[in-house]
Structure 1
């Protein structure tokens, strides 16, 4: 294309994006889809679908709205939109009437879903579509704070009150930055109660915690809420891991009966040097994955679960190599207490890590597939919450 024509096209694209950005702050949530569909139509796009990931991470569900194509949810596994979602890369599918383009909706490395559009030609529209998808992802994240529209779209089945509480606590399920990536999965998605996790990237330091409150239902969800709140409060005062543990311990002991407790695991990773510190209070030891193989468990001195008044814990430490991954998980991932069934066990978990963790797969896809594979191996049932978080240090 001639330079003048390219400049005109870029100016047109800037006008489209500028119009979208200028009105985004005052845009009602139910107008997001129609406005995006109208914007895409100006570059010749049709059959526009905004596909959002359901809470079970199994399907991509179309957002309803004027100008948007409706239809049934698409499975993440086995669909072109799902391939775009799992790889976080655009997927183009030629057809008789044009090209179906799938673009990931990325926000800070997390992925809300996929924007799907049919175009007659796409030579000069790829960059513009990526930018429209980027703006759309940011708008969805912002508007989600004060509407139920996107929650209802993503909810594939009835959700328990305890699960509603837990999902409201969670940070984005995934984060991908230049030095570090994080991905987590909670099962059963629509009935999780006591499991939760939290993370924050503050400068060069990644903070991460995973907790498992005893019991089930609202009691467990309430305890998990207090534990995560105490963790965030202590973390934000920039104290050491051992002091964070003591603060969480006091919070649980003061609010609940003496026999109530929360198992917890807290990590701190210096993303500049790879220095990893952790405290383990009752969880299975994390696994260090190097070269896509489990090379060892990150064992540490015994620390009492949060709420039992344990002494100030000893902080364990190691130094990661670029590309290392750390898998943290709750006991529900490897235990099965249903009558007549054996425990799944860490050996089977390691075997599946070796099958699923490959060089061409990011932590989000590996974490999701690992959780779903283990759930299928348990016969799609579990007597406990089963949660995992996978961290990769890029170096």
Structure 2
């Protein structure tokens, strides 16, 4: 049945119109005995899970922090619920690689480990279909949009990489606030061989003008990175591009490289607050050193700095909007509050994606919802040297489960 179910979807995937992704998934699950199928997508500020609409699909909007579907999403772990009629309700995180897309939910008369394995693979396939088809439709973006989005936020969202990435060497997650109105903050990254490249940027000003600068900064960063420029030359190239394209504007930047074989982190700080260095859930220091001018003034020369990380160390890069927001009494939010909240959440030892989601929401709540400036986060965790030769291939079991029995009976 596994081949029949997954194969049927794969065979039709390349010609499947986006509008039929949900209905055809529901159709295939119904055919093998599943019911009450729901496909939830996270909204852009990661507060709710929004149900995809379509024939054969059910589901209502739910809070991530107050639902079983939300628990599966937040933990990247399947959740099961015993229903009074004796059936089992399954909530399966939909991951595209390691990027959290949403949750697939379905009910079965009963489940065993084979069913669970197949259901997880099905959830992964649905995630892949949604990501692949998203380039050709507004359907999934409309489902994810819980409130009106500004043009500047639309422009930046299109330029961003996935918000999360996980592999055996490193984890990474980012968040932009305010999610639906962000103007000038952005980030980018790439894992090339055993080296993680990352950058966090904050363009001068607000609105569409700042977003335009931010997208050019991302493009200049990617171009320099892809042609192999070292950090000082990459900084100089970005500086020149922004100076020529926007003579009256600039952008602060933090660009870095993490060599996962040696744990060596090298970075250039062009006007950002110093990143926080976290170990065992505690802030052990800042990545201090020479701060060079923001990109766009032209002619500056930047010298990189470096440190050696230990496995498990985390680095929080953030823009000034996180700590410079003024509270109701005029007091600045400040780095001390950021450290306190980061350590409170870090004590739970959550994956980077969930740490950033909770941190972003906790910071917003501590600022009483005030976001007069963009406030963005990028959390990087060094997991240790590569272990490519130790990676093993999981061999699937050949025993049968409910899906198989249902297919045989039908």
TM-score range, shorter chain: over 0.9
Q: Residues 264 and 305 of structure 1 are in contact (CA less than 8 Å); yes or no, is this contact kept in structure 2?
A: yes
Provide structure 1 residue ranges, at least 5 long, that are not aligned to the other structure.
1-11
* Residue deviations 1:191-227 (CA, integer Å, cap 9, x gap): 0000000011111111100000010111100110111
> Residue 135 of structure 2: SS of its match in structure 1?
helix
Of 144-153 and 355-364, deviating more is: 355-364
Which residue in the other structure is 1:79 paired with? 67
Relative to 1, partners in 2 of residues 1:289 and 1:251: Cα closer, same or farther, differing over 3 Å? same
Matches for 1:95-174 after TM superposition, within 5 Å: 95-97=83-85, 98-123=87-112, 124-174=114-164
Question: 1:279, 1:360 → 2: CA distance?
Answer: 28
Q: 1:61 aligns with which of 50, 61, 65?
A: 50
Q: Residues 209 and 267 of structure 1 are in contact (CA less than 8 Å); yes or no, is this contact kept in structure 2?
A: yes
* Residue deviations 1:119-149 (CA, integer Å, cap 9, x gap): 1101131111111111111111111111100
Question: 1:195, 1:347 → 2: CA distance?
Answer: 22
Q: 1:33 aligns with which of 19, 22, 29?
A: 22
Q: Residues 338 and 383 of structure 1 are in contact (CA less than 8 Å); yes or no, is this contact kept in structure 2?
A: no
Matches for 1:209-288 after TM superposition, within 5 Å: 209-258=199-248, 260-288=249-277
* Residue deviations 1:338-373 (CA, integer Å, cap 9, x gap): 674311111111111110013541001111111110
Q: Residues 207 and 268 of structure 1 are in contact (CA less than 8 Å); yes or no, is this contact kept in structure 2?
A: yes
> Is residue 59 of structure 2 the alignment partner of residue 93 of structure 1?
no
Q: Residues 303 and 310 of structure 1 are in contact (CA less than 8 Å); yes or no, is this contact kept in structure 2?
A: no
Which residue in the other structure is 1:317 paired with? 306
Provide structure 2 residue ranges, at least 5 long, that are not aligned to the other structure.
385-410
Deviation at 1:273, TM superposition (A): 1.8
RCO comparison, higher one (Cα < 8 Å, 6+): 2
> What is the TM-score when the length of structure 1 is the normalising length?
0.95
Which residue in the other structure is 1:8 paired with? none
Deviation at 1:310, TM superposition (A): 4.5
TM superposition outliers: structure 1 runs of 4+ over 6 Å: none
Which residue in the other structure is 1:349 paired with? 338
Question: 1:394, 1:203 → 2: CA distance?
Answer: 15
> Residue 279 of structure 1: SS of its match in structure 2?
strand
Question: 1:30, 1:272 → 2: CA distance?
Answer: 44
Relative to 1, partners in 2 of residues 1:126 and 1:263: Cα closer, same or farther, differing over 3 Å? same
Question: 1:158, 1:311 → 2: CA distance?
Answer: 40
Q: 1:374 aligns with which of 355, 363, 366?
A: 363
Q: 2:195 aligns with which of 190, 198, 205?
A: 205
* Residue deviations 1:315-334 (CA, integer Å, cap 9, x gap): 00011100011000001011
Deviation at 1:16, TM superposition (A): 1.2
Question: 1:374, 1:272 → 2: CA distance?
Answer: 34
Corresponding residue pairs, total: 382
> What is the TM-score when the length of structure 2 is the normalising length?
0.91
Question: 2:2, 2:255 → 1: CA distance?
Answer: 45
Question: 2:223, 2:282 → 1: CA distance?
Answer: 36
* Residue deviations 1:240-280 (CA, integer Å, cap 9, x gap): 0111110110011001124x110000010112221110000
Q: Residues 202 and 319 of structure 2 are in contact (CA less than 8 Å); yes or no, is this contact kept in structure 1?
A: yes
> Residue 66 of structure 2: SS of its match in structure 1?
coil
Which residue in the other structure is 2:379 paired with? 390
Deviation at 1:13, TM superposition (A): 1.1
CA RMSD of aligned residues (A): 1.1
> Residue 117 of structure 1: SS of its match in structure 2?
strand
Q: Residues 34 and 107 of structure 2 are in contact (CA less than 8 Å); yes or no, is this contact kept in structure 1?
A: yes
